[in-house]
Amino acid sequence: MHASQGRSAGLGLALASAFAFGGSGVAAKPLIEAGLDPLHVVWLRVAGAALVMLPVAWRHRSLLRGRPALLAGFGLLAVAGVQACYFAAISRIPVGVALLIEYLAPALVLGWVRFVQRRPVTRAAALGVVLAVGGLACVVQVWSGLGFDLFGLLLALAAACCQVGYFVLSDHGGDESDPADPLGVIAYGLLIGALVLTVVARPWGMRWSVLGGDAGMNGGQVPAWVLLAWIILVATVLAYVTGVVSVRRLSPQVAGVVACLEAVVATVLAWVLLGEHLAAPQIIGGAIVLAGAFIAQSSAPKASLPGPVAGSEPASGDAPSPADRATRR
């Protein structure tokens, strides 16, 4: 009974994480269109979340000595790299398209496993990758010479590559007997990311007056500080924390599959709140991308089983493997 309740709670947390992550781009794009540079929005998001998570970082300060490489990888790639590239992408292409392109991360991770690590992958995982790539071709309308800004598409792809870099780094440390506390890694990743972005974004040149005004959202006006508060507290702190806790209560595969809803949430919210309508082929392509991600994620067998793998499953309480976490934003 207790196990069933724990699983139900984990599923609820995973859903909350997917919805929270999915709302980040919808809240950020009006701020960008109101006059804030994408890098400045990223800096506000990461720096604000880092301040909120500062007590957690202090509690796990031993990680600075024990896992400096992991913290640096999370901060540089999973925080600074992913967020900067993603927010820069949504300033040029629709939110839903940018996030769907990030769902190439599972394919890129499996490519790393197959061609760099030279480990076999399951046929189901390979099929999932083919579906994801084919669906993405429909989303970006390759038959019409790409229906969106090429540089924006490249930025979204760079965000996916940044995710892969962290997933691979995290996997190298996954076999250690004393795993790092995920909340501590998140807290220090945000702190490191904030420091890096401070140098890159140069927030002292930001148009701070934008935060005191309103931002347009599909014909309406929303206070800019409300959007920023949502990005920091909900789309970053709540999203990361609920995601980590859900993985501890569910298997990494189940949590990863639920995370596929993030792209659906982002696309629907962008449609309703930003008026970013997608054509029928793009909607079908998005569904194929999600189906491919679902197949690739759910096909990963347990590490204890022999045979081809799409990614190793960590022990209970560990961070998920690359193939399991490739959809976490």
Q: Are 150 and 300 in contact (CB under 8 A)?
A: no
Is the per-residue pLDDT at 172 higher than 50? no
As a whole number of angstroms, the distance between CA 269 and CA 21 comes to: 12
Of the two residues 36 and 244, the one the predictor is more confident about is 36
Q: Report the range out of 72-81, 126-135, 143-152, 189-198 with the highest average pLDDT.
A: 189-198
Bridge partner list, 215: 222
Q: Report the range out of 5-14, 170-179, 181-190, 194-203 with the highest average pLDDT.
A: 194-203
Q: What pLDDT score does 279 carry? A: 79
Question: At a CB cut-off of 8 Å and minimum separation 6, what does 110 contact?
Answer: 121, 125, 126, 129, 296, 310, 311, 323
Structure tokens, 135: 């669906």
Q: What pLDDT score does 2 carry? A: 59
Question: At a CB cut-off of 8 Å and minimum separation 6, what does 164 contact?
Answer: 105, 108, 109, 112, 322, 326
| pLDDT tens per residue across span 267-301 | 788 888 888 877 788 788 878 877 876 776 666 54
Q: What pLDDT score does 328 carry? A: 44
Is the per-residue pLDDT at 156 higher than 70? yes
Q: Report the range out of 41-55, 96-110, 148-162, 258-272 with the highest average pLDDT.
A: 41-55
Q: Concatenated DSSP letters for 12-34?
A: HHHHHHHHHHHTHHHHHHHHHHT
H/E run at residue 220: strand 220-223
How confident is residue 95, by pLDDT bands cut at 50, 70 and 90?
confident
| pLDDT tens per residue across span 11-30 | 788 788 888 888 888 999 99
Average pLDDT on 312-318 reads 37
Kindly report the average pLDDT of the chain as a whole number.
77
Q: What pLDDT score does 304 carry? A: 39
Q: Which of 92, 166, 149, 199 is nearest to 328 (CA)?
A: 166
Is the per-residue pLDDT at 252 higher than 60? no
